[in-house]
Amino acid sequence: MAALVAAVLAALSALPLVRGTTSGLVTGVVLGMVPALVGAVFLAVHAVGELTWPRPTGTVRAASLSRRTVRDIAPRGLRVLVWSLTVAVAAAVVVGGLTAAPDGRSMSRATETTMSAVSPYPGWFYGVPLLIAAIVVLAGTEAVLRLVAQRAAVVGVDTSWDLALRRLSAHRILRAAQVPLALTLSGVLVLGSSAAARLDHPGVGVLAGVGALVSLGSVLVLCLPGRAPGDPEHAGRTASAQAADAPLHATAEVTR
């Protein structure tokens, strides 16, 4: 909840920042990076929560000796989605950069009698900052997932519940992280198709439709609920993990 509140506050704070930029070119770059900025704030709050996760206390402490990895706790579909969106942003930026005018922020088209140019267009001028922002979101997501995998086990619950809690945390992180990436991709596609349409390039309208579908899909994914610990179906899926970890469960007595 704290991460969500921080993300909303970051989005609201970004609006005055965009209005306060004096240059129209800088305004476009800042506006395009707002989704990634909000996503980075969301991930930073989650990272603080994981780093301050309470450690086991008491004279007798139990710990699992099995090594958790991101692959063990992250929903595969959502993780693939986050990586795929980042790759798609990179591909869109490269295409935009290669098809842009030499200034890197407009698109031109020459005919036998005229030379036309429109702007803004997601060439290198706009695309490179957006690509860097997308990579930052991806790297931050992977870093926070690693913190979730390596955090201390919850005291007083069995292995299946602890694993379920980690998976629920990973689900929430990935579910939210895909939104800024999807919005960034949508922005590149819509901006590029709009410029190309003004130059009468055929078939570019489909790109705007794809961008709209990507944005809609990200909202639907954001609404996907995660399974809370104790769900019978979830407990059944984690039973095998509990059995595998049982021989590696150790109890250590700590003398203060």
pLDDT tens track for 165-178: 899 999 999 999 99
How buried is 251 (Cβ within 10 angstroms: 0-12 exposed, 13-18 middle, 19+ buried)? exposed
Rounded to whole angstroms, the Cα distance separating 209 from 220 reads 17
What pLDDT is attached to residue 61? 53
Q: Is 243 domain-assigned?
A: no
Q: Is 166 domain-assigned?
A: yes
Q: Does residue 63 register a pLDDT over 90?
A: no
The answer to whether the CB of 175 falls within 8 A of the CB of 78 is yes
What pLDDT is attached to residue 240? 42
| Percentage with pLDDT > 70 across the chain | 72
Give pLDDT tens digits for 176-205.
999 999 999 999 999 999 888 888 777 777
Report the mean per-residue pLDDT for the chain. Answer: 79
What pLDDT is attached to residue 57? 63
What pLDDT is attached to residue 76? 93
What pLDDT is attached to residue 87? 97
How buried is 221 (Cβ within 10 angstroms: 0-12 exposed, 13-18 middle, 19+ buried)? middle
Q: Does residue 136 register a pLDDT over 90?
A: yes
What pLDDT is attached to residue 115? 73
Q: Is 148 domain-assigned?
A: yes
Helix (H) or strand (E) holding 174: helix 159-198
Q: Does residue 245 register a pLDDT over 50?
A: no
Give pLDDT tens digits for 10-47.
666 666 666 665 566 777 788 888 899 989 999 999 89
What pLDDT is attached to residue 243? 38
What pLDDT is attached to residue 256? 38
As for how many domains the chain has, the answer is 1
Tell me how far the alpha carbon of residue 33 is from its chain's centroid. Answer: 13
What pLDDT is attached to residue 151? 86
Q: Is 209 domain-assigned?
A: yes
Q: Is 25 domain-assigned?
A: no
Q: Is 196 domain-assigned?
A: yes
What pLDDT is attached to residue 234? 46
**Three-class SS state of 223:** coil
Q: Does residue 139 register a pLDDT over 60?
A: yes
Q: Is 60 domain-assigned?
A: no
Q: Is 242 domain-assigned?
A: no
Q: Which domain holds residue 197?
A: 2-10+31-45+67-227
For residues 87-91, give the mean pLDDT: 96
Rounded to whole angstroms, the Cα distance separating 44 from 37 reads 11
Rounded to whole angstroms, the Cα distance separating 54 from 152 reads 7
What pLDDT is attached to residue 128? 95
What pLDDT is attached to residue 206? 84
What pLDDT is attached to residue 91? 96
Rounded to whole angstroms, the Cα distance separating 90 from 72 reads 27
